[in-house]
A and B are shown apart, each in its own frame.
Chain A
Amino acid sequence: MERLKLATVWLGGCSGCHMSFLDLDEWLFELSEMADLVYSPIADVKDFPHGVDVTLVEGAIANEENLGMAKTVRQRSRVVVSFGDCAVTGNVTAMRNPHGLGLEVLRTVYLVPEPGTQPHIPDDREIVPALLDQVIPLHNVIPVDHFLPGCPPSASRIRDFLKQLLSGTAPNRSAVQIRFG
């Protein structure tokens, strides 16, 4: 059986879903027999590759870079999974939404530290991405193939899901697999 090209990405989240992925513990050895981790924050490839089979996307869309990354992931992956409550619903990351960042283009340039200090105007739009006005779930910006809720989804939930994907069966949508929280 051909090895699965697996990728993981984190956007506007806390990385708890990735930690839950690592809670697969020694099953990771089995996974590494069946899959190659071709892109991940815990690996060193800097550019998201083409021809990825499955990408797990953690985190909500909170800034312009998240948005760009989501689109790249969709273009270059066969299967995209919303991984964890932040990607599925916005979750805690979206709690800033009711407080409103309502301007069209809002950008915090810098914070004035002390009175009398001369502020400099930075030229760093390429470094610090602009925030989106509202934090949104992943499926609001790209079509998503599967959803794996949880904050984070437990390692056993992740393992069952991956096993089903690897064997080509449609992932189980039972209550215990998809409960939020």
Chain B
Amino acid sequence: MKRIIIDPVTRIEGHAKISLFLGEEGTITHARFHVVEFRGFEKFCRGRPFYEMPSLTARVCGICPVSHLLCSAKAGDAILGVRPPVAAVKLRRTMNLGQIIQSHALSFFHLSSPDLLLGFDHDPAQRNVFGLMKSHPDLARGGIRLRQFGQDVIDKLGGRKIHPAWAVPGGVREAASVETCQELRARIPEAQATARSGIELMKHYMDTHSEECKVFGLFPTLYLGLVRPNDHGWEHHDGVLRIMDHTGTVLVDDLEPSRFHEFIGEHVENDSYLKSPYFKPMGYPGGAYRVGPLARLNLCTGFGVPLADAELREFRARAGGVANSAFFYHLARLIEILACTEFLDQHLQDPDLQSPRHRAEAGVNHLEAIGCCEAPRGTLFHHYRVDDNGLLTYVDLIIATGQNNLAMNQTVTQIAQHYITDSRSIPEGFLNRVEHGIRCYDPCLSCSTHAYGQMPLYVELLSPDGTIIDQVRR
């Protein structure tokens, strides 16, 4: 089957390609999203001590190392059989707020906004953050400083901006000084102002670009994410799982994250290192679900902070209820940044952040554990098994971006079919729109394809000319 390949997909994290399959008379029959990188964490982490895992799994990704750090530490908590001290939980949550701010800021300002502000059809040589710095310097500066703020929260708490080793099984290594908290708090007004101007910008764009809102990934899917246990409010670090459908009907509620596997299966794709999770009761591919900011805003009853809640109400009005268009991800992301600034303001005033009791110690008390938290891109699970001495015997990382795989594939198909009517001559801007469909999901592909070996493998040994020499089934 003939196809056009977009290679590489740019302005996302990681390595990916998109295939546009050509039908008769120049139409596009469907599109596929392929992830083409792989490092094998789930294999080579075996044999390592579990207390090294937070820092080791941080290297899965340079944008969201904190997500892996915290999720791994939580799995470590469970292996130790401890409840981290209250101060440790608060400190971890504080760092996560910083992480969400910087990651979302990167996604919107550095990676996606060039399409929105310069235009999808703008000269590709300029359609990037450097081009934005020339055409919209104030906005670019604001976005850069917003990301910097999030990074500084991580740095001040954890000792470095990227790959801090600070969160550990049992708690965290250091508390935060009063001076640090005050310093960071003083910068919240600017961060908030930037988030709000980003929100206004996005709302105005959506008001004037209804085509994009309808065509960039508008279709029914389920939504999955963490929510707070009792009031089911927006959650980013602890909580319980909730799954709802595209009308807002809650299908699963108050699910303990460690029971994830009861409802979620994983389908293997043929042409991508990325597998596709799906909701088992509805099968594959009908049980496709989305995670991340769009899902979290759909799932939660509210944030619990005033500015973000006001925006959430407007968001829902704009969507007409549940937001089923991937284009709404951008706005959801910006609203989450706003919420994080409001929560940070509260956290940084809490004297518990200075507590000397921020790390519980114990030995190996459980041989299996699942840690779960919300990465900026969606729900993340770290599943470990260890031996009696704490060496890992099994590692499974279930990644946010992977859970969006089915939806991403459907999104690129929808966009390609809408815009490309003659495949013999496709304007570059149309291909860019297809890529933008992926950018809406803010995928993290280094995260998503670390895996091999946890499922039965069928392997073909191919000679250089393509003949099959041998076949092995594990």
Contact = CB atoms under 8 A, between A and B. Distances in A.
Interface of A: 10, 12-20, 22-23, 25-26, 28-29, 32, 36-38, 40-46, 62-63, 65, 91-93, 95-96, 98-99, 103-113, 119-122, 124-129, 131, 151-152, 154-155
Given A25-B148, A46-B10, A109 B460 contact: yes
Interface string B313-335: 00000000000000000000000
B189 interface: no
A16 B65 contact: yes
Interface stretch (B69-77, B205-213, B270-278, B393-401): B270-278
Interface in B454-471: 455-464, 466
Contacts of A119: 458
Given A65-B36, A106-B461, A128-B34, 12 more contacts: A23-B148, A28-B133, A36-B130, A41-B11, A43-B10, A92-B39, A95-B44, A96-B43, A110-B458, A113-B267, A152-B162, A154-B160
B418 interface: no
A132 to B, nearest CB: 11
A110 B457 CA distance: 7
Contact of B62 (A19, A122, A124): A19
B23 interface: no
Contact of A107 (B148, B162, B460): B460
B456 A111 contact: yes
A72 to B, nearest CB: 13
Contacts of B383: none
Contacts of A10: 15
Contact of A40 (B17, B128, B151, B275): B128
Contacts of A37: 128, 130
A92 B434 CA distance: 33
Contacts of A15: 13-14, 61-63, 446
Interface in B45-79: 56, 59-63, 65
A124 B32 CA distance: 12
Contact of B144 (A25, A129, A154): A25
Q: What 4 pairs between A and B have smallest CB-CB spacing? A: A16-B62, A43-B128, A44-B124, A111-B268
B148 A151 contact: no
Interface string B1-16: 0000111101111110
Given A96-B39, A111-B268, A128-B36, A26 B141 contact: yes
A105 B459 CA distance: 11
Contacts of B269: 110
B202 interface: no
Given A105-B461, A108-B459, A128 B144 contact: no
Contact of A14 (B34, B43, B446): B446
Contacts of B124: 43-46
Interface string B215-232: 000000000000000000
Given A109-B460, A151-B59, A131 B128 contact: no
Interface in B431-474: 432, 446, 452, 455-464, 466, 473
B127 interface: yes
A25 B267 CA distance: 40
Contacts of A32: 130, 133-134
Interface string B119-159: 00000110111100110010001001101100100000000
A15 to B, nearest CB: 4
Given A16-B163, A152-B163, A42 B458 contact: no
Contacts of B61: 14-16
B106 interface: yes
A57 B215 CA distance: 36
A44 B11 contact: yes
A125 B102 CA distance: 37
Contacts of A105: 461-464
Given A45-B125, A151-B163, A122 B270 contact: yes
Given A92-B56, A96-B40, A99-B44, A111 B455 contact: yes
A3 B111 CA distance: 24
A91 B58 CA distance: 13
Contacts of B446: 13-15
B277 to A, nearest CB: 12
B192 interface: no
A38 to B, nearest CB: 8
B352 interface: no
Contacts of A96: 39-40, 43-44
A128 B272 contact: yes
